[in-house]
Amino acid sequence: MLLADKTVIVTGASRGIGRAAARECARQGARVVIGHSGSSQGTEAAYSLIEEIKAFGGQAIEVGGDAADPDTGDKLVAAAVQAFGSVDVFVNNAGICPFHSFLDMPREVYLKTINTNLNGAYFAVQAAANQMKNQGRGGAIIAVSSISALVGGGMQTHYTPTKAGLHSLMQSCAIALGSYGIRCNSVLPGTIATDINKDDLADEEKLAYMTSRTPLGRLGEPDDVAGPIVFLASDMARYVTGASLLVDGGLFVNLQ
């Protein structure tokens, strides 16, 4: 098992990519902290994931908290240490992408997106890194960034800077934390069918267009991203830091 004896925190783990990542980490032997929004729906989903994990003999707890709140990272770390004694891997996954045009972008949509996807993440990564430094045996931090860190989206002008920001944060943290043995990397998913884009991809033309642009011929599924996250979390990637891994079925390189 790739993550035996490690404690892994995954934010936004109630559904989608985060849920798949948390489940796969548990399958690989990790003790998992399921971060979720704290809403009743999020809490219920987190408990159902705990049941799934327990059913195959894994261990997990849930912690609710708004990813935009700078204190949520501390809360996740404290719960991990209390339940499992350590934090070895931190996966920053929680995020939103409310599609909206640029010229009339409401300030509150812009600020909510930046606060949820980037500002809260900064302090959560800081909290996890301090815990790993104090433990003295290194660790791994993985940001779920996006192909959108590298390319734009006309309806994503508030979103793509947050993904570029996470990508850049991992590069700088790789330098800041390398001497503590803490590796920092990002995964850059392409288009993965989840709740975040359910409405956008309900448009059949858009769905067909995004599928046709993907050389592997299909959109991604959450489990497609879980494996690369586990790899970067594991000692298999022990000399990988400051890297970003596209998980996009070839979408990014498909110019013509």
Ligand X SMILES: C[C@H](O)[C@@H]1OC(=O)[C@H](O)[C@@H]1O
Ligand Y SMILES: NC(=O)C1=CN([C@@H]2O[C@H](COP(=O)(O)OP(=O)(O)OC[C@H]3O[C@@H](n4cnc5c(N)ncnc54)[C@H](O)[C@@H]3O)[C@@H](O)[C@H]2O)C=CC1
Angstrom distance (rounded) from CA 93 to CA 11: 5
Which is closer to ligand Y, CB of 41 or CB of 134? 41
Q: Does residue 87 belong to the site contacting ligand Y (CB under 6 A)?
A: no
Tell me if residue 168 falls in helix, strand or coil.
Answer: helix
Which one of 191, 234, 241, 244 is in contact with ligand X (CB under 6 A)? Answer: 191
Q: Does residue 116 belong to the site contacting ligand X (CB under 6 A)?
A: no
Q: How does DSSP classify residue 192?
A: B
Which one of 9, 97, 170, 237 is in contact with ligand X (CB under 6 A)? Answer: 97
- Residue 131 touches which of ligand X, ligand Y, none (CB < 5 to 8 A by kind)? none
Q: Count of alpha carbons within 13 Å of 251, Cβ hemisphere only?
A: 24
Catalytic residue list contains 163: yes
Least distance in angstroms from the C-beta of 54 to ligand X: 31
Q: Which stretch binds ligand Y (CB under 6 A): 52-60, 94-102, 124-132, 210-218?
A: 94-102
35 to 28, 50, 199: CA distances (angstroms) = 18, 12, 24
- The interface with ligand Y within residues 98-127 (CB under 6 A) comprises 116
Residue bearing tokens 């879980």: 226
238-248 in b/e form (b: 16+ CB < 10 A) is eebbebbbbbb
Burial of residue 22 (CB within 10 Å: 0-12, 13-18, 19+) is buried
- Residue 153 touches which of ligand Y, ligand X, none (CB < 5 to 8 A by kind)? ligand X
Least distance in angstroms from the C-beta of 211 to ligand X: 12
Rule CB under 6 A: which residues touch ligand X?
A: 97, 146-148, 153, 163, 191, 196-197, 200
